[in-house]
Amino acid sequence: MATIELDSITKVFANDVVAVDDVSLRIEDGEFMVLVGPSGCGKSTILRILAGLEEVTAGELSIDGVQVTDLPPKDRDIAMVFQNYALYPHMTVAQNLAFGLKLRKMPRPERDRRVMDVARILGLDPLLERKPAALSG
């Protein structure tokens, strides 16, 4: 885990729509944080900025005190699960969870440990060997 800090983050899209306006917040290492608000208020945009999938118009983002505002997504060590998930149907839940780590050439024992940690936290332990078609709701 890591401390995440957003300092005066603003995102204005090309059509002059202000999606995020001067947001500052600090999420401490180990702290559980939930973004709540109506549709269109900027929750997803903030998460996309954090992951590096969206550039900021103004402000700075740091992770563990390191300024990452201009770092590409692959260098941020952040993962996202989207509402409309895209799972590889031929892979198990465990393999889907480990896929990004495998692409980063993480050794298998470390990948397995991290997958088990995440599965335990999310309560997915009983589902790890299932394929996406065998999952529901």
Q: 121 pLDDT exceeds 90?
A: no
Residue 122, Cα to own-chain centre: how many angstroms?
14
What are the pLDDT digits (tens) for 74-99?
A: 888 787 766 666 788 899 999 999 99
pLDDT the model gives residue 83? 61
**Which class in CATH covers the domain with range 4-75?**
alpha beta
- What's the pLDDT score for residue 135? 84
pLDDT at position 132, please?
86
Q: What is the pLDDT confidence band of residue 109, given thresholds at 50, 70 and 90?
A: very high
The tokens of 86 are what? Answer: 């895209």
Distance in angstroms (rounded) separating the CA atoms of residues 43 and 38: 9
The residue with tokens 């298998």 is 108
pLDDT of 5 higher than 80: yes
Q: What is the pLDDT of residue 79?
A: 72
Range(s) of the chain covered by CATH 3.40.50.300: 4-75
Task: Tokens 């306006």: give the residue.
Answer: 21
3-state secondary structure of 9: strand
pLDDT digits (tens, 9 = 90+) for 25-67: 999 998 888 889 898 899 999 999 998 989 999 999 999 999 9
- Compute the chain's Rg from CA coordinates: 17
pLDDT at 2: 87
Which pTM does this prediction carry?
Answer: 0.63
Q: Give, in order, the Cα–Cα distances in Å from 8 to each of 27, 31, 108, 114, 122.
A: 14, 21, 39, 33, 31
Residue with tokens 């989207």: 82
Q: Which two tokens stand for residue 108?
A: 């298998």
The count of C-alpha atoms lying within 13 angstroms of the C-alpha of 127, restricted to the half-sphere facing its C-beta, is 16
